Amino acid sequence: MASFYDEINKNRRKSFLLIVLVFSFLAGLIYVISIIFAPESSFFILIFGTVFVFIYTYGSYRFGDKVVLSATGAKPVNENDPKYTTLINAVDNMAIAAGVPKPKIYVMESDEINAYATGRDPKNSSICVTTGLLERMKRDELEGVIGHEMSHIQNYDIRFATLVAVLVGLVAIISNMIFRSWRFRGSDREDRNLGIFILIGFILAIFAPIVVRIVQAAISRKREFLADASSAKLTRYPEGLASALEKIKKYNEGKMQVSEAVSHLFFTDPNKSALDNIFATHPSISERIKILRSM
């Protein structure tokens, strides 16, 4: 079985590879757009676009967590507010057990029971929980969920998952721009090569959202099982997390209305969609409960 150090090194390698792949893909998309709309200036647009992508990629690494927190409407917890005492204590306890600095704590408004962790490393991390989780979870269940998210922080899952949310999400956005904008181009050119580039842009626009889901599904399932096991190790009580998952299965409707680009960050899938049957970003809740209760 892989150790935490193995997982940390693996996540660092995957993060670097993701940056390289997405950077290259975005540069290619910009080149396609320049050929379609301004072939006479394509070289200069490519240079400008590459610089922009570099700055965006670096910004995603440094500030991706802030983008995610803002996109989900997360608000920082007032640690002097007594209604958050149990949550703050749970985060304190799990951070000590995991041997990581205490992450910043956020809450987002939602009746659904859910949570996520984000950041670039354990020293720069945040945990966000929904108001629904605070209302329905008992202390041991809450600690189980927080322990799960603390595992993602401990082994650098958060860096890779946050980069996926921000970088791969941008790929989908740019591809969608091609899909919507190509038809507004003038039809005075009949150049065959230009038609090929338009076709490439059209294909990218169609398949980019599917690629996003494939990437999300590939990174999410295994790490969720590992985080469940790590939570049981941190809390010494796997039934707490199993009970939390049962409540989620009972109460959640999958209607959180958060962007699909960040859905893989959550404790359980926040949105139900047609793609879930093919590219599920999370393992089955029933399977997770079964494994926890077999520990």
**Which range among 26-30, 67-71, 270-274 has the greatest average pLDDT?**
67-71
Question: CA triplet 124, 67, 74: central angle to 5 degrees?
Answer: 85
Say if residue 66's pLDDT is above 90.
yes
End-to-end CA separation in angstroms for the chain = 15
pLDDT of res. 153: 94
Instruction: Tell me which of 141, 143, 149, 224 is the catalytic residue.
Output: 149
Ranked by mean pLDDT, the top range of 7-16, 30-39, 145-154, 160-169 is: 145-154
In this structure, what DSSP letter does residue 115 have? E
Domain that holds residue 29: 4-74+156-292
**86, part of any domain:** no
Look at residue 95 and tell me if it is in a domain: no
pLDDT of residue 160: 80
Instruction: Tell me whether residue 20 is in a domain.
Output: yes
- Is the residue at 19 inside a domain? yes
- At 102 the three-state DSSP class reads coil
Q: Taking 70 as the threshold, does the pLDDT of residue 187 lie above it?
A: no
**Residue 135 confidence (pLDDT) above 70:** yes
Q: Is 188 exposed, middle or buried (0-12, 13-18, 19+ CB in 10 A)?
A: exposed
Proportion of the chain above pLDDT 70, given as a percent? 73
| In-domain check, residue 97 | no
The DSSP output letter for 156 is T
Model pLDDT, residue 165: 76
Q: Catalytic residue at 149?
A: yes
- Per the domain annotation, does 218 fall within a domain? yes
Residue with tokens 């390698």: 13
Q: Report the alpha-carbon distance of residue 223 to residue 161 in Å, rounded.
A: 10
Instruction: Give the total number of structural domains in the chain.
Output: 1
Q: Is 244 contained in some domain?
A: yes
Assigned domain for 38 exists:
yes
Per residue in 73-100, pLDDT tens?
A: 999 999 899 999 999 999 999 999 999 9
Q: What is the overall mean pLDDT for the chain?
A: 81
3: tokens are 């150790």
pLDDT value for 183: 53
CB of 160 closer than 8 Å to CB of 11: yes
Q: 43: buried, middle or exposed (CB in 10 Å: 19+, 13-18, 0-12)?
A: exposed
The span from the CA of 114 to the CA of 121, in Å, is 22
Quote the tokens at residue 132.
């629904």
Predicted pLDDT at 1: 47
